[in-house]
Amino acid sequence: MGMTFKTIQEARQVVSFYAMANKKKLKTKKSDTKRIRYECYDGCPFTLLISKDGKSATFKVKTLKPKHTCGDSFVNPLATYHTLAVYFKDEVQNNPKYPIKDMRGILEKKFKLNVSRSKLKRAKTMALDKLEGSFKDDYNRLEAYGQELRQSNPGTDVVINISKDALEQGIRRFLRIYICFKALKDGWKSLRPIIGLDGTFLKGKCKGQLLVAVGQDSMNHFYPIAWAVVEKENTGTWTWFIQLLRISLELKNGEIVTFMSDMQKGLLDAVANVVPEAHHRFCVRHIESNWCKKWRSGEEKKLMWWCAWSTYEEEFKDTLKVLGKVDEDSASDLLHFPVIKWCRAYFDTQCKNLMVDNNFTESFNSWILEARQKPIIKMLEEIRVKVMKILVKNEKMGRKWQNDISPTAMKLYNDY
């Protein structure tokens, strides 16, 4: 009695949840913009009247006979798809693949309520559609998020672009966001100067792609540096991303740095244009999958990897000769990929890194797979928290070292 609600919609929502929780099959008796009256079935005395509260804009429970004489009901007309969408909102938003089977299970277990698959499917779609809107139009929330990151992490670069097309129509619509934390910038400067680049699709309802820049620490763990959400991966978005990264990490013309990526055209052009002095390695696994369409036998693949792992020119040439003997075309085809981009013998020695594949960057992307299914701010926050936690874990490990040299580096030194 006396409970108030902001709107009649809110009142309806609460009564629907009441009916579900108490397994009661209520029916609406009188319903208009000013009042709503509920009764129960089977001569049960339960009555509830909610109506406008005098001159105020709110609504209030005016009549309540709370006792039921009826039994539990296993169907419930008030459990509409809209009510169910609100009920499952968090679960579905956190996991867009949340199974309908589980939704049914929960309703059965908690409320003894039997709801059809089609109704739940509709409820789930409704909860997800609201998310899509939040990706496209939630520019203001993203700007506030960016401001919060800048304030709580001074020196952090957060850049948000809005759509020019939408702006012409007077709408401020989110287009891209770039984030590079100050702590990650500073940390990267003490690591070997290698940066893996990769783009990956967002998995949820929100469209777009995630671009990441990832380094490697002295234990060969991935070390995330910066990430961005863009509309899609192309020369324009990669150029934008690398320009911002260049500023964040003070890369100048790229003299000191080595990039690692697969061979997407947009990305290659962007690196060449923005940081023309940088070294750029091509991931050998991508060379393998392009070259290998023709050369599928194990022997040729194996020799290709040996070519990539050759650490001096003669070794490379000898291995290539062996490959040529197995199949002449496979060797000449392999040379279509500029050898200085993928063979250790030709790598610069400045970055002190033997990597010939981009696995470390791709493993970062799969590590955040779950986050990639979420709406944009939830995703960015989950990435931030995950990165923070793994850095703490790695630091704790580092504090247990016997000296200033990492066990991985020490092992390499001893092996040689």
C-beta closer to Zn ion: residue 51 or 73: 73
Phi, psi at 312, each rounded to 5°? -140, 160
C-beta closer to Zn ion: residue 48 or 115: 48
Q: What does the block give as tokens for 10?
A: 């809110």
Q: From the centroid of its chain, how far is CA 92? A: 15
CB of 45 to Zn ion, least distance (A): 8
C-beta closer to Zn ion: residue 16 or 234: 16
C-beta closer to Zn ion: residue 36 or 142: 36
C-beta closer to Zn ion: residue 22 or 209: 22
**Kindly report the CA angle at 120 between 114 and 122, in degrees rounded to 5?**
145
CB of 24 to Zn ion, least distance (A): 5
Q: Which of 68, 122, 182, 285: binder of Zn ion (CB under 5 A)? A: 68
Answer yes or no whether residue 268 interacts with Zn ion by CB under 5 A: no
Q: Which of 44, 166, 191, 409: binder of Zn ion (CB under 5 A)? A: 44
Please give the Cα distance from 219 to 404 (Å, whole number). 12
Phi, psi at 235, each rounded to 5°? -55, -40
Please give the Cα distance from 294 to 328 (Å, whole number). 12
Contact segment (CB under 5 A) with Zn ion among 65-73, 166-174, 176-184, 262-270 equals 65-73
Contact segment (CB under 5 A) with Zn ion among 66-74, 82-90, 170-178, 185-193 equals 66-74
Q: Report helix, strand and coil shares of the chain as percent, to nearest 5.
A: 50, 15, 35
Gyration radius of the chain over CA positions: 30
Q: What does the block give as tokens for 386?
A: 């995950």
Answer yes or no whether residue 122 interacts with Zn ion by CB under 5 A: no
Contact segment (CB under 5 A) with Zn ion among 67-75, 177-185, 225-233, 278-286 equals 67-75
C-beta closer to Zn ion: residue 41 or 139: 41
Nearest Cα to Cα of residue 284 among 228, 235, 347: 347
Q: Which of 14, 64, 70, 86: binder of Zn ion (CB under 5 A)? A: 70
| Residues 337 and 304: beta-carbon distance below 8 Å | no
Answer yes or no whether residue 46 interacts with Zn ion by CB under 5 A: yes
Please give the Cα distance from 330 to 156 (Å, whole number). 48
Amino acid at 414: N
Number of residues that bind Zn ion (CB under 5 A): 5
CB of 131 to Zn ion, least distance (A): 37
Please give the Cα distance from 260 to 33 (Å, whole number). 63
C-beta closer to Zn ion: residue 66 or 133: 66
Contact segment (CB under 5 A) with Zn ion among 68-76, 84-92, 93-101, 120-128 equals 68-76
Write out the binding residues for Zn ion, residues 1-40 only, by CB under 5 A: 40
Q: From the centroid of its chain, how far is CA 256? A: 30
* Residues of this chain that bind Zn ion (CB under 5 A): 40, 44, 46, 68, 70
